[in-house]
A and B are shown apart, each in its own frame.
Chain A
Amino acid sequence: MTDHIINLIESFLIIIFLHASCLERPTKKTVILSAVFTVLSFLHISWVNTFSVYEDIGMKIVDIAILAVYMKLISGASWSRVLMITTIPLVLIASINICTASFFSWLFYGGLDYPRLAGEHYGLMIFLTKVLFLAVSQVTAILLRKKTDWLSSSDCITILVLLILFSMIITFFENLVFYQDFSADWIILVLTCINGSAILVVYLIHKLNATVRSGLRTQHNLEVLQAQLDSFQSFEAKQAQLNKWAHDMKHFYNALLNTEHNEIAEKMKTMYEEMQLPIILTKEPYGLVLNAKYREAKQAGIDYNCSIRADIRINMDRYDLCLLLSNLLDNAIYHIGSGKKILVEIDDIQDYSRIRITNSIDGPVLDENGSFIFSGDNHGHGYGVNTILTLTSNYNGRCLFEEADGNLISTVIIPSGRTV
């Protein structure tokens, strides 16, 4: 009976950990699912313990499968992330058990004597290990929820493999500590696992380092962009007045045409037609980026045209939207072909907002799969394209790069979040 209660508590603690690792607060649905899966996990463990149908690895696999289904249902996260997180409690429980048992055995008896410890201090050990697991798992859950949402699917799989290797190493130590059972095949297996873990840790560090560097670069881009936007805002206010004058000027010279002041009117008309005024989209944050890049493009001798439905509210965070546009336009400006033409189109279509940048190119830049061909000359494309893909994906949007008629056409669609 006691064992069943302990199993129930353990199942409950694992479910609490899984819930906390993906959701901040429970909802009615998650509470019901948590209760159902706690019972399922408990029944499974109790059934295995009672009837000894399959133990060790078999039991762990089924238990992970049950917990993975639970987590998938409450979080909707990818399977790789779900499996990574559901493996964590098994490693935590085993490592806490082994550490606590070893520590108290050494404290009470000056060496490893698990049977005696279990006989004399079973209740204390159970209580301590569960409390420790609760504390450690909750801290882990918070870290998982807040700090690991950027992990890619392949990162999650790497960590999952690492956790499985850790689990095997811990199982070896469990056998050693609790049953003093170790054999040559186990030692070989564990040493292989340790070597494998070392390789994976190095690989993971290298990969995470690259991700952090890419993140820093994005952060740097954001800071540069903010500086550009700030400096452009004061410039734009002055230009707005100029635009108003230009607009009035057209009406004025039209009134003067075919009168005795026709000559002056013609001069004014010529002046009006030769003016290069900025695009004004003050209501939308992307207007600032469009203008900043408009100036950059003009300085580089690029013919930069826009066709924009200015009422489009793109359902993205201001900085993300600016970063997305700035990357799209940077790619177009820096990798422009000799045609030197850029066309910016922003409109909406069905329940999506659409951004399309068309720029001239001199030769193929995409392979047959639509992916960029990176060479030494256009390596800068890589960072920009990754940022575009990540931002688009973060907002459940889609991105397409196509070549047509000597142009690169980059199209991004983002759900507008409005009902049409």
Chain B
Amino acid sequence: MPANNMNVVIIDDDHEDLLRVQQCLHQILGEMKIPYKILTSDSFSGLSPQPHTFYVLDIDMPGQDGFKIAKEINDWQPSSAIVFCTNHMHLIHDAMRPNTLYFVNKSNLREQMTLAVKKYIANRGLAEDFQFQFMKHSFSIPWSDIICFNTSGNNLLITVTNTPEPYAVHKSMKSIRDDALKNHFISCTSSYMINMYHIKTIKDPYVYLSEGKKIKAGARAIRYVEEARLSFLLRL
């Protein structure tokens, strides 16, 4: 099974910079052996925000505001990542409003873009999708989109972002356990495995997850999850 493609969109009004950033990403992603698709543009007009996309935006484009574009992308596709790329450090102060993944200085493009890509992969994951059958249809969902797994009777419930109801499939927790652990999941209770990336906060006795989901756990389990999460956050 092929790993997920990394979708990249680069927007920069300066043609030279656009090519430089594109070339740099070709090299980085090629060396990291990550399959990718790159789309370049000198403006955002005509493009529509795409999910699970790595956007590289120039901030300082005459006639266009990189922050407004970022905000628009964030509003429509929160699963996308925004990387600002500019010539000068003094623009950092404005990189505050959108949910920025990284700030890359063009004078140190290669090194900082590598870090941005590494951070994107660490945060979002490019591992193979989790595949299952549901209502006689095949589903393939990125691990990073799965909030948690839990057992209910003989079913395994899969809670996924932007999906109102969990998918109920005939699988055991044991069958997915090893793969889940590799993808930053942790056992929270005997019947729950949660994605550490989707933990929002932990307030004894609850673990709060994305999209308002919360799981009650015992005091020992809470301490275990909190320790694992802190270790995960420090290394992320």
Contact = CB atoms under 8 A, between A and B. Distances in A.
Interface of A: 243, 246-247, 250-251, 254-255, 272-273, 275, 277-283, 287, 303, 305-311, 341, 343, 347, 349-352, 354, 398-400, 402, 411, 413, 419-420
Contact of A311 (B90, B97, B199, B236): B97
B46 interface: no
Interface string B67-94: 0000000000000000000011111111
Interface in B47-105: 60, 62, 87-97, 100, 102-105
Contacts of A282: 93
A384 to B, nearest CB: 19
B181 interface: no
A246 B88 contact: yes
A263 B230 CA distance: 55
Interface string B97-137: 10010111100100110011000000000000000000000
Contacts of A352: 233
Contact of A354 (B94, B111, B199, B233): B233
A307 B93 contact: no
Given A349-B236, A419-B201, A246 B92 contact: no
Contacts of B229: 350
A30 B211 CA distance: 37
A308 B234 contact: no
A277 B233 contact: no
Contacts of A399: 234
B93 A254 contact: no
Nearest to A304: B89
Contact of A350 (B60, B91, B116, B201): B201
Nearest to B101: A347
Q: Which 10 A-B pairs have the closest CB atoms?
A: A311-B96, A400-B234, A307-B103, A351-B201, A310-B96, A277-B90, A243-B90, A420-B200, A280-B93, A279-B89
Contact of B90 (A255, A279, A351, A413): A279
B235 interface: yes
A303 B108 contact: yes
B93 A281 contact: yes
Contacts of B105: 305
B100 to A, nearest CB: 6
A351 B100 contact: no
B93 A310 contact: yes
A158 to B, nearest CB: 29
Contacts of A413: 230, 233-234
Nearest to A254: B62
A305 B90 contact: no
B104 to A, nearest CB: 7
A86 B180 CA distance: 48
Contacts of A303: 108
Contacts of B108: 303, 305
A363 B102 CA distance: 28
B17 to A, nearest CB: 11
Interface centre among B62, B97, B199, B201 (most CB of A within 10 A): B201
A305 B112 contact: yes
A277 B201 contact: no
A280 B90 contact: yes
B199 A350 contact: yes
A275 B93 contact: no
Nearest to A352: B233
Given A246-B90, A277-B89, A279-B92, A349 B103 contact: no
Contacts of B97: 311
Contacts of B200: 350-351, 419-420
Contacts of B234: 398-400, 411, 413
B60 A247 contact: yes
B66 to A, nearest CB: 13
A308 B103 CA distance: 7
Contact of A308 (B92, B111, B115): B92
Contact of B102 (A246, A283, A307): A307
Nearest to B87: A273
Given A246-B88, A246-B90, 15 more contacts: A243-B90, A247-B91, A250-B60, A272-B87, A278-B90, A279-B90, A308-B92, A310-B93, A350-B199, A350-B200, A354-B233, A402-B235, A413-B230, A419-B200, A420-B201
Nearest to A243: B90
Nearest to A240: B90
Given A305-B105, A419-B201, A350 B233 contact: yes
A306 B108 CA distance: 11
29 contacts: A250-B62, A251-B62, A255-B62, A281-B92, A283-B93, A305-B89, A305-B105, A305-B111, A305-B112, A306-B103, A307-B104, A307-B112, A307-B115, A307-B116, A308-B103, A309-B95, A309-B100, A309-B103, A310-B92, A310-B96, A343-B111, A343-B112, A347-B100, A350-B233, A352-B233, A398-B230, A400-B235, A413-B230, A413-B233
Interface centre among B89, B95, B201 (most CB of A within 10 A): B89
Nearest to A247: B60
Contacts of B91: 247
Contacts of B233: 349-350, 352, 354, 398, 413
Contacts of B88: 246, 275, 277
A348 to B, nearest CB: 10
A398 B89 CA distance: 28
B90 A343 contact: no
Nearest to B13: A254
A303 B110 CA distance: 14
Interface string B14-52: 000000000000000000000000000000000000000
Contacts of B94: 310
A307 B93 CA distance: 10
A413 B116 CA distance: 19
Given A343-B115, A420-B201, A306 B93 contact: no
